[in-house]
Amino acid sequence: MNISLKPQTSQPARALAGKVALVTGSTSGIGLGIARALAAAGADIVLNGLGVASEIDQTREQLAAEFGIKASYSPADMTRPKSIAEMIAATIAQSGRLDILVNNAGIQHVAPLDQFPVEKWDQILAINLTSAFHTTRLALPAMRRNGFGRIINIASAHGLVGSPFKAAYVAAKHGIVGLTKVTALETAEEGITCNAVCPGYVYTPLVEAQIDGQAKAHGVSRDQVIRDVLLVQQPNKRFATVEELGALTVFLATEAAASITGIALPVDGGWTAH
């Protein structure tokens, strides 16, 4: 078997120039951090998610101005297959391609299994798992036409281990890891990769609010909440950052990661090493 070797070169600063990336759940938090990283690498961005219309429009304009890329927004509802289909179709119609798909949309609800609201179970499975099935199946034809595709599923440490009272979230994230493996196997010879990123706790405004709330509720310091409550499972005792997740996503989207597919990559400070 002959294997042609490509000369080693440093990764260009705009490694994703000319690519189009769609990031679900990207109007804030982890998704927005990933969208910014992809934009910084030169990709045109399609945002998606909830929020105030004027603020989303401002975010879109800032991305375009700061990074010199095209940025658009889809209000698609991740619980509605028809809405998801319209988003994918509009992206391809506008750009003629869809190179990078980041399935990040997700919600959480905590309750004992026998008291878990059925409507919450259905909603979490729809947004956290089923939406990724729909985006992936609809994006694959365009990726196959172009001979290139990167699907990056934002799972969780809870896609690898369980925790009490998070039945729907843990089930959905384990499902995402399984979907990642199947997608990788089905596209392995087509220039398309699919990987799952499995973060532990990531520092976002939502987590910051949890820190303050827990500290007040239990009458303990912020540091105690961070170390002994939120990060009790993370040996490194520090939050991951959205910038770290963005940088990893960019790497997985480049040619340098062409042989990485079907993995569930923990970014959890050693949580799942237990």
Q: What DSSP string describes 222-258? A: HHHIIIIIITTT-TT-S-EEHHHHHHHHHHHHSGGGT
Same domain, 219 and 93: no
For the entire predicted model, the pTM comes to 0.94
pLDDT at residue 46 greater than cutoff 60: yes
pLDDT at 1: 45
Are 175 and 224 contained in the same domain? no
Residue with tokens 């809405």: 83
Tokens of 121: 């179970």
DSSP structural state of residue 102: E
pLDDT in tens, 144-173: 999 999 999 999 999 999 999 999 999 999
Q: In which order are the strands placed within the sheet that holds 44-48?
A: 71-74, 44-48, 20-23, 100-103, 149-154, 192-199, 264-267
Q: Is residue 30 a part of any domain in this protein? A: yes
Rounded CA-CA distance 132/82 in Å is 13
Q: Is the residue at 15 inside a domain?
A: no
Tell me if 252 sits within 8 A of 244, measured CB to CB: no
**Residue 66 and residue 105 share a domain:** yes
- Give per-residue pLDDT as tens, 69-126: 999 999 999 999 999 999 999 999 999 999 999 999 999 999 999 999 999 999 999 9
- Nearest C-alpha neighbor of 78 from the set 113, 121, 125, 110: 125
Please indicate, yes or no, whether residues 207 and 265 belong to a single structural domain of this protein: no
Burial of 113 (0-12, 13-18, 19+ CB in 10 A): exposed
Residues 30 and 153 placed together within one structural domain of the fold: yes
Tell whether the model's pLDDT for residue 2 goes beyond 60.
Answer: no
Q: Are both 115 and 220 inside the same structural domain?
A: no
Helix or strand (DSSP H, E) at 72: strand 71-74
The secondary structure element, H or E, covering residue 86 is helix 81-95
Q: Categorize the per-residue pLDDT at 13 as very low, low, confident or very high, splitting at 50, 70 and 90.
A: confident
- pLDDT score, position 207: 87
Q: Please report which confidence band the pLDDT of residue 216 belongs to, taking 50, 70 and 90 as the band edges.
A: confident
**Position 10 pLDDT exceeds 60:** no
- Does 250 lie in the same domain as 161? yes
Is residue 207 within 8 Å of 272, Cβ to Cβ?
A: no
Cα torsion 174, 76, 83, 81 to 10°: value is 10
If asked whether residues 101 and 222 sit together in one domain, one would say no
Q: What phi and psi values does residue 205 have, to the nearest 5 degrees?
A: -55, -35
User: pLDDT band for position 6 (50/70/90)?
Assistant: low
Amino acid at 164: P
Q: Are residues 137 and 217 in the same domain?
A: no
Q: Is residue 132 part of a domain?
A: yes
Overall domain count for the chain: 2
My answer on whether 224 and 161 are in the same domain is no
Q: How confident is the model at residue 11 (pLDDT cuts 50, 70, 90)?
A: low
Position 34 pLDDT exceeds 70: yes
> Please, what is the average pLDDT of the chain?
94
- Whether 58 maps to a domain, the answer reads yes
142 belongs to a structural domain: yes
Residue 8 has pLDDT above 80, yes or no: no
Flag whether 14 is in a domain: no
CA 123/CA 142 separation, integer angstroms = 28
CB 169, CB 126: distance < 8 Å: no
Q: For residue 24, what is the domain's CATH number? A: 3.40.50.720
Read off the pLDDT band of 129 (50, 70, 90).
Answer: very high
Cα atoms in the 13 Å half-sphere on the side-chain side of 43: 30
Cα–Cα distances in Å, from 2 out to 66, 151, 182, 260?
Answer: 44, 29, 28, 21
Catalytic residues, which ones?
Answer: 169
Give the domain range for residue 80.
Answer: 20-201+240-273
- Tell me, yes or no, whether 40 and 152 share the same domain: yes
Spatial contact of 268 and 234, defined as CB atoms under 8 Å apart: yes
Compute the distance between CA of residue 146 and CA of residue 198 in angstroms, rounded to an integer. 28
